[in-house]
Amino acid sequence: MSTKAFNAFEMAQTQFDKVAELLNLDQGTRDLLRQPMREFHFNIPVRMDDGTVQVFRGFRVQHNDARGPAKGGIRFHPMETIDTVRALAMWMCWKTAVVDIPLGGSKGGVICDPHNLSVRELEHIARGWVRQIAQNIGPLSDVPAPDVMTSPQIMLWMLDEYETIMRAQYPGVITGKPVNMGGSLGRTEATGYGVIYTVREALKQLGMRPDNSIASVQGFGNVAQYAIQLFNQLGGTVICVSCWDQGDSLSYTYRKKDGVSLDQLLGITDRFGGIDKKKAKDLGYEVLPGDAWIEQEADILLPSAIENQITAENVNKISKRVKVIAEGANGPTTPQADEVIQQRGIFLIPDFLANSGGVTCSYFEQVQNAMNYYWQKDEVLGKLDVKMTAAFLAVSELAVRKKLFMRDAAFVIAVSRVAQACRDRGWV
């Protein structure tokens, strides 16, 4: 067995090479698109609460901006590496391209552990990150957003620092702001609802109806909760959710065969998406092992928790009844499991299409900031539905026409759009 550590950037490049082959891209375009256009590495010195100075390492990677300003989140994580940031920046580029919003892809990070930092220290890291990169981000060049362990409050500190340096108001320099400070209504719902817009379209193509359908869900955080809400509104039944139990350091599946009640579960869930096991039992839920969600008799699986969940070890436990898998989470399926899903003919909606509602709504936030005029929530969600449905239809049409697996079809569309923009600009 190989002892080589998993490297996300190598995986992203391997995926890209496969698509480049399918598209028969010329060597210049391949060389341009398999590496970031630009990356910035810097130190952020922070005076800590105890009076000492600690230096944090920060990054920003701009993979490509041929289709519009680069776009991507900032992660605060103790295990952050430049290769993870590079991979995520490349994936953002494909995500904005597949959903056809006029943006490129980028990602940023700081190596730090927010659990061990005070609010004041976090604020200084956030402001320090902006001081190092201010000349290289902006509403028309590169727009950050929240991601792992960064929040709307952190976005607001970053915005304030940027505007102080630039001596003007630039609300569109960053997205994921609080709603009363330039954020968009509908952002909280956007990713989960977006997943269900694509599921609704997949069911139509399979001649199935949501009100006759049963789903099994992994995760009960932001994405899963809103996916369940909309799926229920369409008449669908969710028979179980699986989530992490902080106390036991284990995951559990909570099942009710005639359908879980979203409101009931929300009443016993903490802010990290963890369900109180005892209260769930009292409410009549069966408490099963964490991976039981994957083997349920359901029509739809919604992996919406974390990466690497459908693997060579458990993919054969997926019931024959399952017709659709929509990846709410990023990277929930390993390449080996992917092959089995493809062979079984399950309709897969790949992560960078299924969960692109979040970045699409961030784009709407920028549009509203530029107009200085804000839409009602219904208007935001209506526009989101139109955008995601069009993206889904373009991918599924190509998949049928060229007999491609949905994931490959989505990659082909995304990479060819970015390559075309590079050609149109005369870069390659």
146 binds ligand NAD (CB under 6 A): no
349 binds ligand NAD (CB under 6 A): no
The residue range among 19-27, 164-172, 222-230, 232-240 that interacts with ligand NAD, by the rule CB under 6 A, is 222-230
**Max Cα–Cα distance, the chain, nearest Å:** 65
- Which of 311, 293, 289 lies closest to 302 in space, CA to CA? 293
User: How many other β-carbons are positioned within 10 Å of the β-carbon of residue 251?
Assistant: 20
| Residue 33 C-beta: closest distance to ligand NAD, Å | 22
| Residue 242 C-beta: closest distance to ligand NAD, Å | 5
273 binds ligand NAD (CB under 6 A): yes
Pairing label, strands 300-303, 70-77:
unpaired
Name the residue nearer to ligand NAD (CB basis): 224 or 384. 224
242 binds ligand NAD (CB under 6 A): yes
| Residue 421 C-beta: closest distance to ligand NAD, Å | 23
The residue range among 216-224, 256-264, 278-286, 411-419 that interacts with ligand NAD, by the rule CB under 6 A, is 216-224
What does the angle CA 309 – CA 311 – CA 317 come to, to the nearest 5 degrees? Answer: 95
Ranked by CB distance to ligand NAD, the top (closest) residue is 221
Is residue 131 packed enough to be buried (19+ CB in 10 Å), middle (13-18) or exposed (0-12)? middle
304 binds ligand NAD (CB under 6 A): yes
329 binds ligand NAD (CB under 6 A): yes
Identify the residue among 8, 215, 223, 300 touching ligand NAD (CB under 6 A).
Answer: 223
350 binds ligand NAD (CB under 6 A): no
- Which of 35, 9, 39 lies closest to 133 in space, CA to CA? 39
262 binds ligand NAD (CB under 6 A): no
User: How many other β-carbons are positioned within 10 Å of the β-carbon of residue 357?
Assistant: 31
Instruction: Report the Cα–Cα distance between both ends of the chain, in Å, rounded.
Output: 40
Is residue 128 within a helix (H) or strand (E), and if so which, with residue range?
Answer: helix 119-133
128 binds ligand NAD (CB under 6 A): no
User: How many other β-carbons are positioned within 10 Å of the β-carbon of residue 329?
Assistant: 24
CA 283 to chain centre: 32
| Residue 51 C-beta: closest distance to ligand NAD, Å | 34
218 binds ligand NAD (CB under 6 A): yes
333 binds ligand NAD (CB under 6 A): no
The residue range among 74-82, 118-126, 212-220, 260-268 that interacts with ligand NAD, by the rule CB under 6 A, is 212-220
222 binds ligand NAD (CB under 6 A): yes
Strands of the sheet containing 324-326, edge to edge, are 286-289, 250-255, 237-245, 214-218, 300-303, 324-326, 347-349
Tell me the residue ranges of DSSP E strands in 65-104. Answer: 70-77
d(CA 234, CA 125): 43
| Residue 134 C-beta: closest distance to ligand NAD, Å | 26
| Residue 388 C-beta: closest distance to ligand NAD, Å | 13
d(CA 314, CA 311): 6
d(CA 257, CA 296): 10
Identify the residue among 114, 171, 183, 274 touching ligand NAD (CB under 6 A).
Answer: 274
Identify the residue among 36, 186, 221, 350 touching ligand NAD (CB under 6 A).
Answer: 221
| Residue 208 C-beta: closest distance to ligand NAD, Å | 24
Identify the residue among 16, 244, 285, 411 touching ligand NAD (CB under 6 A).
Answer: 244
264 binds ligand NAD (CB under 6 A): no
Q: Considering 107, 177, 256, 387, which one is annotated as catalytic?
A: 107
305 binds ligand NAD (CB under 6 A): yes
358 binds ligand NAD (CB under 6 A): yes
Establish whether 107 is a catalytic residue: yes
The two three-digit tokens of residue 333, written as one number: 């399926």
DSSP state of 257: T
Pairing label, strands 214-218, 237-245:
parallel
**227: CB partners within 8 A, 6+ apart:** 192, 193, 195, 196, 217, 302, 304, 328
DSSP assignment of 312-361, as one string? TTTGGGS-TT--EEE--SSS-B-HHHHHHHHHTT-EEE-HHHHTTHHHHH
Name the residue nearer to ligand NAD (CB basis): 9 or 226. 226
114 binds ligand NAD (CB under 6 A): no
Question: Given the rule CB under 6 A, which residues bind ligand NAD?
Answer: 191, 218-224, 242-244, 251, 273-274, 290, 304-306, 328-330, 355, 358
Q: Which residues are catalytic?
A: 107
